[in-house]
Amino acid sequence: MRKLIAPLCALLLLGTPAARAVDVAAPSALLMEKETGAVLFAKDEHTQREPASVTKVMTLLLTMEAVDSGQLTYDTMVTASAHACSMGGSQIWLKENEQMSVSDMLKAVCVVSANDCAVALAEQVAGSEEAFVERMNQRAKELGMNDTHFCNATGLPAAGHVTSAYDIALMSRELILNHPDIRQYTTIWMDTLRDGTSQLVNTNRLIRFFDGATGLKTGSTDNALYCLSGTAERDGMELIAVIMKDATSNQRFEDAKTLLNHGFSTYALRKIVLDAPLPPVSVELGAQATVQPALSEGGVLLLEKSKAGNLTQTVELAETVTAPVSPGDRLGTLTVASGEEIVAELPILAGESVPRVTYGQMLLRLLKTAFLSE
């Protein structure tokens, strides 16, 4: 009995939607759909470039993981160190030993890209910025960010601090997919800190001027030029547009809008729900006679809109399987078609375990059969 690796159970496409030609000025760019991770557009996506403050996507990710794991709470008070206060660049001018909640520091990082708050959070999570950077690089490896090496938690210029458009999309997806609470900060256009005495205006103009914008992070330095990981959601589909090394701030937002509009106009997500309940499958030599099949969790398809309208389903199930059966064992396939074209084949899996019958159970069955036949 063949078992499927868990991530493949949620989605099994016959092919990733083709990345179509889109005109953007940025030398590196990428468009990714959040739920499936499908790449919808790519241009020079693996070239290593300086990310500037888009680096902070990873800083936010590790901080949110610390919050969600219980290591921190939004109300945890963070004390600013001399090191954090020395960052320069974009900041809210923390003073040494000033205390601010994790929530307010997250707001400052997301809205105005505060370097001082990014480092203060890094120190709170890992004890020092150096230790935090080790975690950043370890997490990057875990996410498959093979083009990336971080040297700090801020994105301030440092030799060897590089990533790629593809890797930025990977960490951005991890953040918005598994830590949706980050939206409470990334969607802020204007706000204040310190009882209204510190004004904040989001560096990400998409939040104010693009329908459905949800975040995420801007960045710019003299060498990195203008970078952006911009996210937006429409009709239940969230997209990630990554722009690297654009010549101007305005151009990065125009390029991001071009990619996002392309994605929203061309693609759609469809949640697949079975047309009818699945019948049980017979189990040979099992402790019970049947096993109940179920469609793999997820069942979300990313399709071109032209193919997403009238979908049909065909179910193929095994007539019998042999025990033992484990949850996740494949029992059949749901084929989804658009007209004559097959657009996806989704695995149908065992939803329960059925152990192999023991000799004692077999003997008892034989005795019952013999008794009932007399």
pLDDT in tens, 181-200: 999 999 999 999 999 999 99
Residue of 28, 34, 53, 90 marked catalytic? 53
Residues 6+ apart with CB under 8 A from 329: 1, 2, 3, 321, 349, 350
Dihedral angle sign, alpha carbons of residues 275, 279, 283, 287: positive
Residue 240 is encoded by which pair of tokens?
């990630």
Q: Check residue 1 and give its pLDDT.
A: 34
Judged against a pLDDT cut of 50, whether residue 14 lies above it is answered with no
How many other CB atoms sit within 10 Å of the CB of residue 27? Answer: 16
What would the 3-class secondary structure string for 87-138 be? CCCCCCCCCCCCEEEHHHHHHHHHHHCCHHHHHHHHHHHHCCHHHHHHHHHH
Q: Check residue 372 and give its pLDDT.
A: 56
| pLDDT digits 0-9 by tens, 314-338 | 999 999 999 999 999 999 999 999 9
Residue range 105-125: mean pLDDT, rounded: 98
Residue range 136-152: mean pLDDT, rounded: 98
| pLDDT digits 0-9 by tens, 28-38 | 999 999 999 99
State percent of the chain over pLDDT 70.
Answer: 91
Residue of 113, 164, 220, 338 marked catalytic? 113
Judged against a pLDDT cut of 60, whether residue 7 lies above it is answered with no
Judged against a pLDDT cut of 90, whether residue 12 lies above it is answered with no
Q: Check residue 357 and give its pLDDT.
A: 84
| pLDDT digits 0-9 by tens, 231-244 | 999 999 999 999 99
Judged against a pLDDT cut of 80, whether residue 369 lies above it is answered with no
Lowest-pLDDT range of 101-105, 202-206, 359-363: 359-363
Residue 231 is encoded by which pair of tokens?
């996210």
Q: Check residue 374 and give its pLDDT.
A: 53
Residue range 286-308: mean pLDDT, rounded: 90
More confident residue, 299 or 156: 156
Dihedral angle sign, alpha carbons of residues 348, 142, 163, 251: positive
> What's the Cα-to-Cα distance from 248 to each of 63, 219, 225, 228, 298, rounded to whole Å?
30, 11, 7, 11, 40
The pLDDT mean for the chain works out to: 92
> pLDDT class for 358, splitting at 50, 70, 90?
confident
Residue range 46-61: mean pLDDT, rounded: 98
> pLDDT class for 296, splitting at 50, 70, 90?
confident
56 is catalytic: yes
Q: Check residue 40 and give its pLDDT.
A: 97
Residue range 270-283: mean pLDDT, rounded: 93
pTM of the full structure: 0.88
- Owner of token pair 């403050």: 53
Dihedral angle sign, alpha carbons of residues 227, 233, 238, 239: negative
Q: Check residue 8 and give its pLDDT.
A: 35
> pLDDT class for 9, splitting at 50, 70, 90?
very low
Lowest-pLDDT range of 13-17, 185-189, 219-223, 253-257: 13-17
Residues 6+ apart with CB under 8 A from 153: 55, 56, 59, 118, 119, 121, 122, 129, 132, 133, 136
Residue of 34, 43, 56, 245 marked catalytic? 56
Residue 37 is encoded by which pair of tokens?
């991770």
Q: Check residue 366 and give its pLDDT.
A: 67
53 is catalytic: yes
368 is catalytic: no
Residue range 3-20: mean pLDDT, rounded: 41
Judged against a pLDDT cut of 50, whether residue 142 lies above it is answered with yes
| Rounded Cα gap, residues 58 and 68, in angstroms | 15
